[in-house]
């Protein structure tokens, strides 16, 4: 498959670009923030995502979805990133859907997701750095399991209808085996959430499971074999977060390059200064390389290629590096105005930092690649 | 079985039968590269391999058969490359004729010029060098001064070129000369001539690596037939720019086309060892290599994307500048890391253990990557103006 978008994918991109820019531009996010909105996104917007079919993008046509792949999901996420649109798309329509695929739980949750009524959250991190540790216990209890432990950085965790939880049914915290993945309903007793507003004004929850009882059928896949659906979730989440980062970095770069063409100092447009031209051209190069990495990861994932996992880490690390550069150069090249709340570029910097941390930062993924290469 | 499957099977069998065992060994030094030409310096196996490939037109597989090429489709060319890589075959012929002049001749040459020069390039009979840079026209190439005076059916060429790679070993030169002093870019012509012509002399330039692949080249009343001019008089800049695009593509891929594990990693493991967790025992070196690998792998994907977009006619015409810039900067950082990983062993300059300072000399060689073929700064200028559309000063 050639490493560029085919005609259908290009059409989807154009449609999505117009749709997101019209319904959820940066001003939409700013308005939610100014209103101290406690949901974290607009449910009306999520409904229109459903009307566009986006919510079922990765769900098979036989189950009422669009039956598309990670390339297409990435196309949508890039536009979400470019417009800084708050949305449960990544956690719900991408990561949770991938985890649920092929399990009995899919039938229960997919219709709500497709309809734009169900929001999913991912309870997988237990520390300030994503590192794959699962200490939360799931002990057999009656007909099901009892979950005890804490999770953090759970985007939409305070309002989600469905919480995908990684817990340990065997082994110790750092073992890859012995993990079981559960689909937990938000109404479960003894589950408490504390929503925290993050730097980018999005909301993430700290969840406490104090003996939360779930039925045996809440298990996604097999008991003790949760690393399979969890890895699916992570690969999809990481690829999606990379695509969103690409959008954030690209959006910031566009703002900056346009500013360079408008702003005058010393009687000249600052974009004519070679010092700034070279930095902008370097930034462009980093973003193009990151773009290739994102598309490659998504294509390999869609092809079920065994090389997908490494490509996903390359994409997540590379987009974090490139987008971090993009937002830093963005603020710097805007000068004083870049530091003001009134101007949008700062929002890009905050969103980039959150996404860079999500599902493992650049160092985590570089380390992962190094371990896989035997050093 | 499709035609392509058949092609693959037959190609594999032919390569197995015709690629000499010496030509499946890794390239260790400059001598291992086959250049051909009138005065070839062949190592065992090199001539057999070059001639075998040339007999099928496979030194230039995608050129038309009429010009000594293989006439292969893009899909067939890709298969041939894959099968060559699978047996780790060495390049049968290194040639500026193939990578630079050939594409320009195919686009701008007359039928007569193509038939005269292309088959000889394909067979490795004539070794070419490039006469572009001059002492006062490096990055500002268009200010070149080597003059070509109109003498009716020939030009009288006078001047000096510099950084002429392998001018002392080349048979012919493709050269930019000034045919109009009043017009900077519009006063340049693109000519070909024999390095054995009267009035041509060369002098090697010793580099920091201890090698002299480059020369100063002097022209003293050299007669160049007008029939050797490619494209119209004073239109040489178009040819030069087209050719530079190909040169940049070639340089951007240097040392980064390989798949599989980076030799840098094995080198680092051999030097500093692994700790009990199986991690490189120098954590900061490990981190530097790991972050470099992220960029190198991503750039490998970018190269794939660039080639796919080129083939589909979707690439921005200035995209080779971005590839050249990123690829060469990356290659330099790879060699910095190689030196850091090798430690004092990699500093040896003459010892047998170090293959005559192979690591240090290769490291120093890469410093030219971001200078030759247009400096990194020139590439950034091109990206800024032609892709980002930033204003001129």
* CATH classification at residue A350: 1.20.140.10
Q: Check the CA dihedral B127-B131-B133-B135 and report its sign.
A: positive
In terms of domains, do A268 and A349 share one?
yes
In terms of domains, do A91 and A130 share one?
no
Put simply, the answer to whether B301 touches A272 (Cβ < 8 Å) is: no
Which tens digit of pLDDT belongs to each residue from B251-294? Answer: 665 544 445 678 899 999 999 999 999 999 999 999 999 999 99
Helices A308-334 & A345-357 angle (0-180, nearest 10): 150
In terms of domains, do A294 and A194 share one?
no
d(CA B61, CA B98): 11
- For residue B391, give the nearest of A269, A296, A370 by CB distance: A269
Domains assigned to chain B: 3-94 (1.10.540), 128-235 (2.40.110.10), 254-388 (1.20.140.10)
Q: Which sequence positions of B are flagged as catalytic?
A: 247
> How many beta-carbon pairs below 8 A join chains A and B?
143
| Residue to test with chain A: of B288, B297, B298, B392, most A Cβ within 10 A | B298
In a domain, A202, yes or no: yes
Contacts of A291 in chain B (CB under 8 A): 305
Q: Which residues, given as ranges, of chain A have pLDDT below 70?
A: none
pLDDT at B243: 86
In terms of domains, do A94 and A67 share one?
yes
- 3-state DSSP assignment of residue A139: strand
User: Any idea of the CA torsion for A247, A252, A254, A259, to the nearest 10 degrees?
Assistant: 170
Tell me: ipTM over 0.90: yes
Pairing between β-strand A264-265 and β-strand A268-269 as defined by DSSP bridges: antiparallel
Put simply, the answer to whether A375 touches B385 (Cβ < 8 Å) is: no
CATH of the domain at A148: 2.40.110.10
CA atoms within 13 A on the CB side of B238: 11
Predicted confidence pLDDT, tens digits, chain B (393 residues): 689 999 999 999 999 999 999 999 887 777 888 999 999 989 999 999 999 999 999 999 999 999 999 999 988 988 998 899 889 899 999 999 998 999 999 999 999 999 999 999 999 999 999 999 999 888 888 999 999 999 999 999 999 999 999 999 999 999 999 999 999 999 999 999 999 999 999 999 999 999 888 999 999 999 999 999 999 999 999 999 888 877 777 666 554 444 567 889 999 999 999 999 999 999 999 999 999 999 999 999 999 899 889 888 898 999 999 999 999 999 999 999 999 999 999 999 999 999 899 999 999 999 999 998 889 999 999 999 999 999 997
Contacts of A281 in chain B (CB under 8 A): 322, 325, 379-381, 383-384, 387-388
- For residue A317, give the nearest of B294, B381, B392 by CB distance: B294
Show which of A226, A261, A277 is a domain's final residue: A226
In terms of domains, do A341 and A215 share one?
no
CATH of the domain at A11: 1.10.540.10
Contacts of A294 in chain B (CB under 8 A): none
Q: Residue B165: in which H helix or E strand, if any?
A: strand B154-165
Percent of chain B with pLDDT over 90: 80
Put simply, the answer to whether B293 touches A373 (Cβ < 8 Å) is: yes
> What single DSSP character describes residue A41?
S
Show which of A90, A119, A148 is a domain's final residue: A119
In terms of domains, do A12 and A77 share one?
yes
Alpha-carbon distances of A81 from A14, A85, A148, rounded to whole Å: 15, 7, 35
d(CA B338, CA B366): 12
d(CA B124, CA B95): 8
Nearest-neighbour CA in chain A from B284: distance (Å): 12
Which residue in chain A is spatially nearest to B313 when comparing CA positions?
A4
Question: pTM of the predicted model, to two decimals?
Answer: 0.91
pLDDT at B1: 65
Dig out the tokens for B302 from the structure. Answer: 């970018």
In terms of domains, do A311 and A362 share one?
yes
In a domain, A34, yes or no: yes
pLDDT at B24: 93
pLDDT at B258: 47
Which residue in chain A is spatially nearest to B299 when comparing CA positions?
A289
Find the DSSP H helices in A304-359. 308-334, 345-357
In a domain, A2, yes or no: no
Which residue in chain A is spatially nearest to B262 when comparing CA positions?
A373
Calculate Rg over the CA atoms of chain B: 22
Estimate the share of chain B in helix, then strand, then coil, as percent rounded to the nearest 5: 50, 15, 35
Q: How many domains does chain A have?
A: 3
Put simply, the answer to whether B280 touches A311 (Cβ < 8 Å) is: no
In a domain, A1, yes or no: no
In terms of domains, do A235 and A343 share one?
yes
Put simply, the answer to whether A285 touches B297 (Cβ < 8 Å) is: no
Contacts of A293 in chain B (CB under 8 A): 297-298, 301-302
In terms of domains, do A220 and A246 share one?
no
Pairing between β-strand A120-123 and β-strand A264-265 as defined by DSSP bridges: unpaired
In a domain, A185, yes or no: yes
In terms of domains, do A250 and A349 share one?
yes
In terms of domains, do A232 and A365 share one?
yes
In a domain, A18, yes or no: yes
Contacts of B304 in chain A (CB under 8 A): 3, 292, 296
pLDDT at B257: 45
- For residue A277, give the nearest of B278, B297, B380 by CB distance: B380
- For residue B302, give the nearest of A288, A371, A375 by CB distance: A288
Calculate Rg over the CA atoms of chain A: 21
d(CA A174, CA A132): 7
pLDDT at B246: 76
Show which of A165, A191, A226 is a domain's final residue: A226
Interface of A with B (CB under 8 A): 2-4, 257, 260-261, 268-269, 271-274, 277-278, 280-282, 284-285, 288-293, 295-296, 310-311, 314-315, 317-318, 321, 362-363, 365-367, 369-371, 373-375
In a domain, A88, yes or no: yes
Put simply, the answer to whether B380 touches A363 (Cβ < 8 Å) is: no
Range of the structural domain that residue A168 is part of: 122-226
Contacts of B314 in chain A (CB under 8 A): 4
Dig out the tokens for B146 from the structure. Answer: 């080597």
In terms of domains, do A300 and A172 share one?
no
Put simply, the answer to whether A293 touches B280 (Cβ < 8 Å) is: no
């Amino acid at each position: 498959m050639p490493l560029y978008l085919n005609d259908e994918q290009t059409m989807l991109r154009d449609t999505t670009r117009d749709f997101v820019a019209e319904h959820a531009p940066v001003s939409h996010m700013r308005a939610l923030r100014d209103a101290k909105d406690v949901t974290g996104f607009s449910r009306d917007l999520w409904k229109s995502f459903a009307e566009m079919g986006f919510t079922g993008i990765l769900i098979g046509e036989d189950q009422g979805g669009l039956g598309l792949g990670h390339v297409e999901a990435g196309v949508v996420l890039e536009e979400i990133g470019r417009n800084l649109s708050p949305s449960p798309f990544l956690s719900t329509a991408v990561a949770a859907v991938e985890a649920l695929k092929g399990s009995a739980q899919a039938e229960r949750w997919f219709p709500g997701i497709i309809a734009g009524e169900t929001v999913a959250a991912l309870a997988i991190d237990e520390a300030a750095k994503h590192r794959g540790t699962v200490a939360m216990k799931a002990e057999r209890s009656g007909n099901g399991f009892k979950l005890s432990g804490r999770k953090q950085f759970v985007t939409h965790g305070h309002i989600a209808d469905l919480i995908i939880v990684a817990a340990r049914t065997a082994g110790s915290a750092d073992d890859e085996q012995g993990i079981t993945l559960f689909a937990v309903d938000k109404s479960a007793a003894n589950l408490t959430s504390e929503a925290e507003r993050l730097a980018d004004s999005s909301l993430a929850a700290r969840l406490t499971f104090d003996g939360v009882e779930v039925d045996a059928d809440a298990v996604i896949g097999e008991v003790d074999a949760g690393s399979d659906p969890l890895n699916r979730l992570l690969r999809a989440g990481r690829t999606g977060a990379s695509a969103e980062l690409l959008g954030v970095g690209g959006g910031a770069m566009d703002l900056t390059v346009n500013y360079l063409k408008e702003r005058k100092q010393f009687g000249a447009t600052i974009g004519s200064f070679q010092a700034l031209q070279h930095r902008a051209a370097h930034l462009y190069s980093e973003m193009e390389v990151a773009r290739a990495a994102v598309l490659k990861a998504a294509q390999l994932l869609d092809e079920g290629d065994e090389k997908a996992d490494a490509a996903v880490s390359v994409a997540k690390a590379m987009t974090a590096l490139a987008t971090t550069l993009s937002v830093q150069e963005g603020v710097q090249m805007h000068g004083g105005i870049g530091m003001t709340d009134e101007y949008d570029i700062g929002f890009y910097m905050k969103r980039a930092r959150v996404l860079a941390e999500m599902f493992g930062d650049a160092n985590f993924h570089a380390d992962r690649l190094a371990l896989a290469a035997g050093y | 079985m499709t035609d392509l499957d058949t092609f693959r099977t037959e190609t594999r069998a032919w390569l197995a039968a015709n690629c000499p065992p010496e030509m499946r060994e890794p390239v260790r030094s400059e001598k291992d590269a086959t250049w051909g030409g009138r005065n070839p310096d062949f190592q065992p196996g090199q001539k057999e391999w070059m001639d075998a490939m040339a007999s099928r037109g496979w030194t230039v597989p995608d050129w038309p058969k009429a010009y000594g090429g293989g006439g292969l489709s893009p899909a067939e060319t890709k298969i041939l490359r894959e099968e060559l890589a699978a047996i780790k075959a060495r390049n049968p012929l290194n040639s500026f004729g193939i990578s630079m002049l050939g594409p320009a001749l195919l686009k701008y040459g007359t039928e007569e010029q193509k038939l005269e020069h292309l088959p000889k390039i394909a067979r490795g009979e004539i070794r070419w060098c490039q006469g572009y840079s001059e002492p006062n026209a490096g990055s500002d190439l268009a200010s070149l001064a080597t003059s070509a005076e109109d003498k009716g059916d020939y030009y009288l060429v006078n001047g000096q070129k510099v950084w002429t790679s392998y001018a002392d070993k080349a048979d012919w030169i493709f050269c930019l000369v000034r045919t109009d002093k009043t017009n900077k870019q519009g006063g340049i012509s693109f000519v070909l001539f024999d390095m054995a012509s009267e009035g041509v002399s060369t002098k090697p330039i010793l580099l920091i690596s201890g090698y002299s692949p480059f020369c100063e080249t002097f022209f003293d009343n050299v007669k160049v037939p007008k029939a050797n001019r490619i494209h119209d008089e004073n239109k040489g800049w178009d040819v030069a720019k087209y050719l530079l695009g190909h040169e940049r593509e070639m340089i951007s891929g240097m040392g980064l086309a390989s798949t599989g594990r980076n030799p840098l990693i094995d080198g680092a493991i051999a030097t500093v060892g692994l700790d009990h967790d199986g991690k490189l025992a120098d954590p900061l070196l490990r981190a530097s290599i790991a972050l470099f690998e992220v960029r190198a792998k991503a750039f490998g994907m970018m190269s794939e994307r660039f080639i796919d977009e080129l083939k589909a006619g979707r690439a921005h015409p200035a995209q080779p500048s971005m590839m050249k810039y990123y690829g060469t900067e990356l290659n330099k950082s790879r060699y910095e890391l190689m030196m850091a990983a090798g430690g004092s062993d990699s500093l040896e300059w003459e010892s047998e253990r170090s293959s005559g300072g192979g690591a240090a000399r290769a490291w120093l060689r890469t410093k030219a990557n971001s200078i030759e073929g247009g400096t990194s700064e020139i590439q950034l200028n091109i990206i800024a103006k032609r892709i980002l559309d930033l204003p001129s000063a």
